[in-house]
Copies of this chain bind each other. A is one copy, B any other.
Amino acid sequence: MVVFEPFRKGVGMVVKRNTWQREAVRSALGTQMGFVSAQGLHAALATSGSHIGLATVYRALADLANEGEADSLQSPEGEALYRACSLAHHHHLICRSCGLTVEIEADEVEEWAHRTATQHGFSRPEHVVDVFGFCSACVPPQ
């Protein structure tokens, strides 16, 4: 039970080799319109004829996230989800029905998080800020 560890591991370490597998994952992630799980991406790759291994997909996604090429977050059910992203820090507005994801600016929240942490004597704050809802194309259930 390790609970309060930092979100992202330290940066820059060993060199990575270029393999078609890593490229396949990077590319497949790019075609996804929203967040996907490792399992989901592996299934998508399999469907499109790739014989890449599941463990490799997990490793590649973790690497992409470490290198800042992918965003990762936990679904409410605790599954890890990934999405290709720009390098800048940002947050997400995610449709609970179709998974459509909109990157949102949150300067306001960045500032608030930092200010609040400092006020309470906390240092090195990191925050989790994501908004889930139903996009305009998805009728809100009942």
Contact = CB atoms under 8 A, between A and B. Distances in A.
A125 interface: yes
A105 to B, nearest CB: 9
A1 interface: yes
Interface of A: 1-7, 35, 37, 39-40, 74-81, 93-99, 102, 104, 106, 108-109, 112-113, 116-117, 120-136, 140
Contacts of A77: 2-3, 5
A5 B93 contact: no
Task: Report the copy number of this chain in the oligomer.
Answer: 2
Given A74-B74, A77-B5, A99-B3, A120 B93 contact: yes
B130 A128 contact: yes
A115 to B, nearest CB: 10
A-B CB proximity, top 8 nearest: A121-B136, A122-B133, A125-B133, A4-B96, A78-B78, A74-B74, A127-B131, A3-B75
